[in-house]
C-alpha cells in the first residue's frame, strides 16, 4: 500500500522561482542580476552553516527561516544555469529522485535490508557502480577538497577504510593516537615548530579515526563541545559581573573557581 504522503506546495515553489526570475529580469535588482554561480555558492555555504546552527539550537521557527534561505540560494543557482541553457530546477529534482530511487532498492525494489550498516554498505556499492573509474583514479577523489578540514578528515578516513586500509579495532587506533601525542611532545620540546604543527595534525587526524570507530561524527562532537564552552564562558562572565568584579582583573585561579562552580551547578540540574 502506498503511504498517504502530503502533496508538495507547488504554488509556493513556483512563486519562489518567479520571484528569482523577477529579481534577475531587466527591471529587477542590480545586485541579483550581477550574480554568478561562483558568487552564489559562497552565500549558499554561509546559509547552510546558519541552518546547521538553527537546527543545533532546537529552534523550529529559526530553522524554518534558515531552510527558506538555503532553498532560495539553491533555486537561484538553478536559475543561473537555466538562463545559460544547461538545466533547470525540474531537472535537478528529477535527477535526484531517480538517483535516490536507484540507491534504495530495499524500499523501491525487491531487496530486503534489516540494519542501517547494511544500508550504508549497499549505498556505497551502488554509488561505486555508478561512477566511471579511471585506472589511475583514487578512492579518495570523491571527497571534496573544499570541505572543512575536520569533516574532510572524517570522509577521507571512511573512504580509506572501505578500501581495506584501516586498523583492526578501536584499541589499535587509540594506541596510534597515544604514539602521535608522544611525537608531538617531542617536537615541542625540541622547539621544531614546523614538525610540531605536522605532528599536531597527525593527532587530529588520528582522533578523527577514533571518532569513526566509536560511531561519533567529529564535526558534531566538536560543535557540541564548543557550544558547551561558550555557554559556560558566558555564565562565567555573568557570575563575575554579579559580584562586581572585572574579568580582566581576576587571576587564573579565581576564574577557575568560578568555572568549577558552574560545572557543579550543571551537575545539579535535573535531567531534561
Q: What is the pLDDT of residues 35-84, one digit of tens each?
A: 999 999 999 999 998 998 899 888 999 999 999 999 999 999 999 999 99
- Cα(228)–Cα(184) distance, rounded to whole angstroms? 27
Q: Which residue has the higher pLDDT, 6 or 12?
A: 12
For residue 107, the SS3 value is helix
State how far the alpha carbon of 140 is from the alpha carbons of 26, 91, 117, 154, 208, in Å.
Answer: 44, 28, 21, 11, 16
In the block, which residue shows the cell 515553489?
Answer: 13
On whether the CB atoms of residues 70 and 48 are closer than 8 A, the answer is yes
Nearest residue to 269 (alpha-carbon basis) of 235, 240, 237, 244: 235
pLDDT of residue 143: 87
- Cα(212)–Cα(159) distance, rounded to whole angstroms? 11
Residue 255 pLDDT greater than 50, yes or no: yes
* Mean pLDDT over each residue of the chain, to the nearest integer: 90
pLDDT of residue 126: 85
Residue 265 pLDDT greater than 90, yes or no: no
Contacts of residue 236, defined as CB under 8 A and 6 or more positions apart, other chains included, come to 247, 255, 258, 259, 262
- Cα(255)–Cα(235) distance, rounded to whole angstroms? 12
pLDDT per residue over 190-200, tens digit each?
A: 988 999 999 99
Say if residue 211 is exposed, middle or buried (CB neighbours under 10 Å; 0-12, 13-18, 19+).
buried
Residue 246 pLDDT greater than 60, yes or no: yes
Residue 268 pLDDT greater than 80, yes or no: no
Residue 271 pLDDT greater than 50, yes or no: no
- Cα(23)–Cα(19) distance, rounded to whole angstroms? 6
Per-residue confidence band for 272, with pLDDT thresholds at 50, 70 and 90: very low
Residue 85 pLDDT greater than 90, yes or no: yes
- Cα(138)–Cα(124) distance, rounded to whole angstroms? 15
Per-residue confidence band for 213, with pLDDT thresholds at 50, 70 and 90: very high
pLDDT of residue 132: 59
Contacts of residue 150, defined as CB under 8 A and 6 or more positions apart, other chains included, come to 204, 208, 218, 219, 222
**What value does the mean pLDDT take over residues 167-177?**
95
Residue 217 pLDDT greater than 70, yes or no: yes
Q: Which residue has the higher pLDDT, 2 or 265?
A: 265
Say if residue 263 is exposed, middle or buried (CB neighbours under 10 Å; 0-12, 13-18, 19+).
exposed
Residue 1 pLDDT greater than 70, yes or no: no
Residue 34 C-alpha cell reads as: 550581477
Cβ of 70: how many Cβ atoms within 10 Å?
16
For 190, half-sphere exposure in the C-beta direction (CA atoms, 13 angstrom radius) is: 12
On whether the CB atoms of residues 180 and 172 are closer than 8 A, the answer is no
pLDDT per residue over 223-234, tens digit each?
A: 889 989 999 999
Nearest residue to 130 (alpha-carbon basis) of 92, 160, 103, 105: 103
- What torsion, rounded to 10 degrees, do the Cα atoms 39, 41, 42, 44 define? 130
Residue 145 pLDDT greater than 60, yes or no: yes
**What value does the mean pLDDT take over residues 91-111?**
92
Amino acid at each position: 500500500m502506498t503511504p498517504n504522503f502530503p502533496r508538495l506546495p507547488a504554488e509556493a515553489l513556483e512563486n519562489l522561482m518567479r520571484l528569482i526570475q523577477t529579481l534577475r529580469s531587466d527591471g529587477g535588482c542590480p545586485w541579483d542580476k550581477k550574480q554568478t554561480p561562483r558568487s552564489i555558492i559562497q552565500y549558499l555555504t554561509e546559509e547552510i552553516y546558519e541552518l546547521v546552527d538553527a537546527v543545533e539550537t532546537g529552534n523550529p521557527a529559526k530553522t524554518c527561516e534558515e531552510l527558506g534561505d538555503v532553498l532560495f540560494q539553491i533555486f537561484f543557482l538553478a536559475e543561473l544555469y537555466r538562463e545559460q541553457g544547461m538545466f533547470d530546477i525540474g531537472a535537478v529534482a528529477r535527477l535526484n529522485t531517480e538517483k535516490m530511487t536507484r540507491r534504495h532498492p530495499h524500499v523501491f525494489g525487491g531487496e530486503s535490508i534489516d540494519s542501517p550498516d547494511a544500508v550504508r554498505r549497499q549505498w556505497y556499492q551502488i554509488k561505486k557502480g555508478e561512477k566511471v573509474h579511471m585506472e589511475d583514479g583514487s578512492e579518495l577523489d570523491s571527497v571534496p577538497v573544499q570541505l572543512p578540514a575536520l569533516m574532510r578528515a572524517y570522509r577521507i578516513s571512511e573512504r580509506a577504510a572501505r578500501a581495506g586500509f584501516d586498523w583492526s579495532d578501536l584499541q589499535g587506533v587509540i594506541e596510534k593516537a597515544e604514539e602521535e601525542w608522544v611525537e608531538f611532545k617531542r617536537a615541542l620540546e625540541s622547539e621544531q615548530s614546523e614538525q610540531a604543527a605536522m605532528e599536531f595534525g597527525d593527532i587530529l587526524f588520528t582522533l578523527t579515526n577514533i571518532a569513526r570507530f566509536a560511531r561519533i561524527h567529529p564535526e558534531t562532537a566538536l560543535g557540541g563541545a564548543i557550544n558547551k564552552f561558550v555557554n559556560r564562558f558566558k555564565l562565567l562572565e555573568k557570575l563575575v559581573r554579579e559580584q562586581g568584579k572585572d574579568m580582566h582583573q581576576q587571576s587564573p585561579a579565581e576564574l577557575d573557581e568560578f568555572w568549577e562552580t558552574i560545572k557543579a551547578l550543571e551537575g545539579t540540574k535535573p535531567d531534561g
